[in-house]
Chains A and B, each alone.
Chain A
């Protein structure tokens, strides 16, 4: 009896945990993102210095005045981290929004007209997916010049293909739902069906892919900056890493305060959004 009882209790605990995983992850992600966003919004109040001003000697070790030391021209690294959240998060979120906009449009159109138009569009998506990523990036970056807006555009343009695929596959299934057929049988024009029935139903999925795209965009921005393809003048976590790398911090004791923090922040931001995305995806597609 007691054995059975304890077994039942264990089972129930597992069940509860199972049902809570998405919620837990979502909350954790929300918390992380919330803290980072707050940091970005209140940066001028939180940061001890103006990150663009040279406030001390270059390459200072951490001290009570400069908790993370200074960078290679004597700017305060802590302030740089705090202000960096602004650019990194903005790029992440706006680029994901761009990607989502393109992705949803392509996904919905390609899914709703799966025959000629749709398959032509999906071949386009295939091409985007197999194109060598880096040169595409350089071409775009070079064409557009380096600025916040352009970094956003470049990233957005490069990551829309994944959401487009996901959304298309959902639209493909939605378009044969009977309520869509019903609307069409009533004589609804495609515009009506798409706007009233298809697009709203992709909402949750789109939100999921949006959040995932934010996570990817943040990582991409960092990688771009690291490769020297971003705008190193903008204070972002990625550009901090670029400077750390180009001024040799990876190989010196400075890696502890110059390399770890931006890397961890990038990871944290990406993680926060990835957790939210995961919990959304679990919600859309609960299994077992």
Chain B
């Protein structure tokens, strides 16, 4: 029986597509008539052109993925072009004619949009099957596993007060407005009214209040408590408004907390005592665009669209997330059509291969994850800036990008911040100059005294072990190239590829920088959030008791500490950027670490199934934005 219904559905869809097409044709004839009118309108050529271009852009954005409509659009465009030419030819035209053309165009556009949506509806509900590598457990705020893509999947079911837009900037979401007082201690917001939980209960500011209290009171497994550090109180000022009161000034609270914290329903969570062990069944009640309806441990998640989503029903009705053991499994599956998208960056060598395969497409964009060299800057000889600078100069970043990433990475800025980031300091240009590096070392007295090709320091050869984690093969290859490059400046290194736990334990004992370091040189990398929020930079470079929680290299500088202290209390965006620019300069000069590159984000998807993926700068495509209709995106 199942096959019959599906073939029926197909024929119905075909019929509807035909209607859509004829409607598109109608739109075309409308455009033609507009063209005729445009012929008469020669006088406002320039204006018409500009308007036409805008219309074109909007139309093409609306039409992607639908060939029939696309050809219709192409025709429409051709017609428009013709109109343009004729308009140019006819020197005299009235403004009304132009307006008529415009309105005709708008009508055509709207009809095309409708046709497309109808066709989508005709093709049945869109189901997207996505691959992830590694289980993410039950996706509630206390049990999801990884920051990526675990948090991203979590946030399909929940919303936060703010939401990142495509540029990575927080925009009001559940909140209608967000305002902050001058000394950065009070963040007030009003909320969108009429939002309901999946179970139909209304969302109010009391839920937000509850969520904040809950996270703060149930420290244990939740990172959200840390986002809320410094929150003294949430003052509820109405059913739909409230104010966060902070103990000390805190810039960037929007990004760090408001756009991060899922709001949980008070009526469900009130009775939950041990959230990480509580059995919610497979489902979680949120306000998000999706409801998790099925979870098979280690295998799959099935999400259903929430048709009543406050920003509009999602474009994808069903999302199945399938767990794979590793990249290779996921890649095999997208090749065989078992999945439609991989929610994980694909390795560089796969980009051209997968792109070449129809109907697979690649979404490319900048990402904020990093590959870098760490060294123990508190220890000889790395405590010497000259040595660190020499290492920096010796790294041929472009070679690494080309060889290991086959070009699918961005050369690292010596000042840490990604060039696509809004607080990037454009004067940060990486320099590859081994000769200069050698000269620097010679000048600093690190010479090869015994002629074995290895320089000495304090009577010992400059010979070190580069520790890296074996499972990350790209990083391992970078380490291998690093060995080559350092050899060129007389520093001998060897790669020790160890198990991840061992590597972490050496570089970051007990995940606590106060425990010191057990390595000379290490390959390291931070995940995207560390860079996405530039206000976290102090964590990386402030001296250790000062707040350098992530200062794994033990770097310390008085000026950096001062800037670190100033940054979070600086009240203006411009002021903060200025501080950040200065910090980048210091980093590039003193090199607490050597940033090598930022791997580009590349996501493969099956364009015949769904192609409206939204690439959030630095974060990739895995977010609710990708699954909402364009009109609902911020």
Contact = CB atoms under 8 A, between A and B. Distances in A.
Interface of A: 54, 58-59, 72-74, 138, 141-142, 145-146, 228-229, 231-233, 242-243, 245-248, 250-252
19 contacts: A54-B403, A59-B349, A59-B406, A73-B481, A138-B499, A142-B499, A145-B502, A146-B496, A146-B497, A233-B476, A233-B497, A245-B328, A246-B473, A247-B473, A248-B331, A248-B350, A248-B353, A251-B328, A251-B331
A142 B403 contact: no
A233 B479 CA distance: 10
Contacts of A54: 403, 484
Contacts of B406: 58-59
A55 to B, nearest CB: 12
Nearest to A53: B484
Nearest to A231: B497
Given A72-B349, A229-B499, 11 more contacts: A58-B403, A59-B406, A138-B499, A141-B499, A145-B496, A231-B470, A246-B473, A248-B327, A250-B328, A250-B332, A251-B331
Contacts of B347: 247-248
Interface of B: 327-328, 331-332, 335, 347, 349-350, 353, 403-404, 406, 470-471, 473, 476-477, 480-481, 484, 495-499, 501-502
Contacts of B496: 145-146
A31 B477 CA distance: 36
Given A248-B349, A248-B350, A142 B502 contact: yes
B328 A145 contact: no
A146 B350 CA distance: 29
Nearest to B399: A54
A245 B332 CA distance: 12
A232 B349 contact: no
Contacts of A246: 327, 473
A248 B350 CA distance: 7
Given A138-B499, A142-B498, A142-B499, A233 B480 contact: yes
Nearest to B352: A59
Nearest to B479: A233
Nearest to B471: A228
A233 B471 contact: no
Nearest to A234: B497
Given A73-B403, A73-B481, A252-B353, A145 B498 contact: yes
A73 B480 contact: yes
B481 to A, nearest CB: 7
Contacts of A142: 498-499, 501-502
Nearest to A225: B470
Closest 6 CB pairs of A and B: A246-B473, A228-B471, A142-B499, A142-B502, A228-B470, A233-B495
A251 B357 CA distance: 13
A251 B480 contact: no
A231 B494 CA distance: 12
Nearest to B495: A233
A116 to B, nearest CB: 39
Contacts of A232: 470, 473, 476, 497
Contact of A72 (B335, B477, B495, B499): B477
Q: For chain B, what secondary structure do more than half of its interface residues adopt (helix, strand, loop), or is it mixed?
A: helix
Given A73-B403, A233-B497, A243 B473 contact: yes
Contacts of B480: 73, 233
A72 B481 CA distance: 12
Contact of B403 (A74, A141, A242, A252): A74
Contacts of B484: 54
Nearest to A243: B473
Contacts of B499: 138, 141-142, 229
**Of B332, B470, B471, B477, most A-chain CB atoms within 10 Å:** B470
Nearest to B327: A248
A228 B332 CA distance: 20
Nearest to A250: B328
A288 to B, nearest CB: 47
A73 B477 contact: yes
Contacts of B497: 146, 231-233
Residue of A54, A146, A248 most packed against chain B (CB within 10 A): A248
Contacts of B335: 251
Contacts of B332: 250-251
A94 B350 CA distance: 38
A251 B497 CA distance: 25
A151 to B, nearest CB: 12
Contacts of A146: 470, 496-498
Contacts of A231: 470, 497
A149 to B, nearest CB: 13
A74 B404 CA distance: 9
Contacts of B331: 248, 251
A72 B328 CA distance: 16
B352 to A, nearest CB: 10
B404 A73 contact: yes
B194 to A, nearest CB: 48
Nearest to A242: B473
Contacts of A250: 328, 332
Contacts of B404: 72-73
A146 B494 CA distance: 12
A135 B470 CA distance: 16
Q: Which of A142, A243, A246 has the most CB of B within 10 A?
A: A246
A58 B480 CA distance: 14
A110 to B, nearest CB: 33
Nearest to B467: A145
Q: Which of A74, A142, A243, A251 has the most CB of B within 10 A?
A: A251
Nearest to A141: B499
Contacts of A141: 499
B403 to A, nearest CB: 5
Candidate in A74, A138, A228, A245 with the most chain B CB atoms within 10 angstroms = A228
Contacts of B350: 248
A247 B477 CA distance: 11
B483 to A, nearest CB: 9
A220 B282 CA distance: 40
A133 to B, nearest CB: 16
Contacts of B476: 232-233
Q: From B328, B406, B481, B497, name the one whose CB has the most chain A CB atoms within 10 angstroms.
A: B497
Contacts of B471: 228
Nearest to B336: A251
A153 B353 CA distance: 40
Nearest to A245: B328
Nearest to A139: B499
B470 A247 contact: no
A145 B484 CA distance: 22
Contacts of A247: 347, 349, 473
A94 B480 CA distance: 27
Contacts of B501: 142
A250 B502 CA distance: 29
Nearest to B503: A142
A242 B470 CA distance: 10
Nearest to B335: A251
A251 B481 CA distance: 26
A74 B402 CA distance: 11
A228 B473 CA distance: 9
A252 B350 CA distance: 9
B432 to A, nearest CB: 16
A243 B327 CA distance: 13
B487 to A, nearest CB: 12
A234 B502 CA distance: 19
A251 B506 CA distance: 35
Nearest to B483: A233
Given A73-B477, A142-B498, A248 B328 contact: yes
B602 to A, nearest CB: 13
A248 B349 CA distance: 8
A233 B406 CA distance: 20
A226 to B, nearest CB: 11
A83 to B, nearest CB: 15
A54 B404 CA distance: 12
A228 B470 CA distance: 6
